[in-house]
Structure 1
Amino acid sequence: MKDITACLWFDGQAEEAANLYVSIFPNSKIGDISRYGDTGPGPKGSVMMVTFELDGRKFSGLNGGPMFKFTEAVSFSVACESQAEVDHYWDSLLADGGQPSQCGWLKDRFGLSWQIVPTILGKLAADPDWAKAGRVMQAMLKMVKLDIAELEAAARG
Structure 2
Amino acid sequence: MTMSGIGTCLWFDGQAEEAANFYVSLFPNSRILEVSPMTVSFELDGRSFRGLNGGPAFTFNEAISFELFFESQDELDSKWAELTADGGQESQCGWLKDKYGLSWQLIPTMLPSVLGGTDPAGAQRAMTAMLGMSKLDIAALQAAYDG
TM-score (norm 1): 0.89
Does residue 1:114 correspond to 2:116, yes or no?
A: no
Question: Secondary structure of 2:110's partner?
Answer: helix
Deviations 1:127-156 (A, max 9, x none): 021111111111100000001010111111
Select which of 124, 143, 150 maps to 2:133: 143
Residue aligning to 1:130 = 120
Q: Could you tell me how far apart the structure 2 residues matched to 1:21 and 1:123 are?
A: 30
Does residue 1:51 correspond to 2:20, yes or no?
A: no
Does residue 1:63 correspond to 2:53, yes or no?
A: yes
Does residue 1:21 correspond to 2:33, yes or no?
A: no
- Following superposition, the deviation at residue 56 of structure 1 comes to 0.9
Amino acid across the alignment from 2:52: L
Amino acid across the alignment from 2:110: I
Q: Could you tell me how far apart the structure 1 residues matched to 2:39 and 2:122 are?
A: 47
Q: Could you tell me how far apart the structure 1 residues matched to 2:12 and 2:76 are?
A: 26
Q: Which has the larger radius of gyration?
A: 1
Amino acid across the alignment from 1:20: F
Select which of 83, 89, 92 maps to 1:99: 89
Identity rate, percent: 62
Superposed structure 1 runs of 4+ greater than 2 Å apart = none
125-134 vs 92-101, which moves further: 125-134
Instruction: Provide structure 2 residue ranges, at least 5 long, that are not aligned to the other structure.
Output: none
TM-score (norm 2): 0.95
